[in-house]
Chain A
């Protein structure tokens, strides 16, 4: 919520997430994947680009345990990882 009451200046509009809300992982089923991801981040100085496969694993874990809607990983931006090619994907 925006608290700046400036008339005319653009204020922040919260938007709902595109795919809704994550169900809570009450039983910690994907906790190990999360720990791997956090460790990767800490080792790589919090650069996201280097830990994308760990985040992919975490999301796959969630999809298997019905904690996330099943979706092809390309649609989640992991297209380059699916082909087995590291680095940037080619432009279309």
Chain B
């Protein structure tokens, strides 16, 4: 006979006396049977039915639910569940605060650069020049006569610059608080005008902060015509506070070194202090 053959699965297990509980093997079958569908086409329906039975899978009740909760509390005990929810909320708050602190630190590190510059300008710390004090300081400073310092001079030229650049005195003896004049000489032996620009260096480095130049020839372009020789003066003084610095007790020799470079057309050099 054709037509549908609907197997009766209710008693498929064949043992009516087995009751269903989670432990028994028939429990799953009892739960599954409403979900099993038998093929409705005529031929081979019984085979598909049998195939269905042979290949069923353990169902996932959660999958069939339309809405799944985002998080399941780990404990099923209702008393501890509330506590867990509370902990979760507190963790989230702490995490928010920590993230805000991290972002705040990052912002502060960016803001620190202009703020520090402002602070240095107002208080004069860190070596940046405070305008207006210098000429009064020179006028009122008192030479410290018992501390004689030898200042030696050095002159260097970059390899591509063909000037003859040398100091006109090898050394000079000064005391802190006294202004002094020194000369360098530069000659351009080539047939073309050459523009040079120089920078300086003071050794030892710690003494360099006391070495103040009133006027010199550095950091500005200096043009020498062909076969021209000029005198280049340096007018400087050593700060009287040099004598009171305990780290400078053993310093008796300061070396001032100038280096000339060739200045190219249109080249903009970064000048120290001129921000």
Contacts and interface: CB of A to CB of B under 8 A. Distances in A.
Q: Do A and B come from one complex?
A: yes
Interface of A: 1-2, 4, 9-22, 24-26, 28, 30-31, 34, 37-38, 41-42, 45-49, 52, 55, 58-59, 68, 71, 74-79, 88-89, 91-92
B116 to A, nearest CB: 15
Interface stretch (B67-75, B87-95, B98-106, B127-135): B127-135
Given A14-B219, A18-B129, A25-B230, 11 more contacts: A4-B205, A14-B200, A18-B134, A22-B232, A24-B230, A55-B180, A71-B135, A75-B138, A76-B179, A77-B138, A92-B140
Contact of A12 (B142, B205, B225, B273): B205
A84 B171 CA distance: 28
A79 B215 contact: no
B155 interface: no
A12 B202 contact: yes
B45 interface: no
B174 interface: yes
Interface in B122-173: 127, 129, 134-135, 138-143, 145, 168-173
Given A12-B208, A25-B231, A34-B183, A68 B138 contact: no
A35 to B, nearest CB: 9
A2 B223 CA distance: 26
Nearest to A62: B233
A46 B173 contact: yes
B220 interface: yes
Interface residues of B, number: 57
A70 to B, nearest CB: 13
B146 to A, nearest CB: 11
Contacts of A49: 143, 173-175, 178
A78 B127 contact: no
Pick the most buried of B135, B181, B228: most chain A CB atoms within 10 A of its CB: B181
B205 A38 contact: no
A19 B134 CA distance: 10
A68 B224 CA distance: 18
Contacts of B208: 12-13
Contacts of B23: none
B222 interface: yes
B20 interface: no
Given A20-B215, A48-B178, A26 B205 contact: no
A91 B145 CA distance: 13
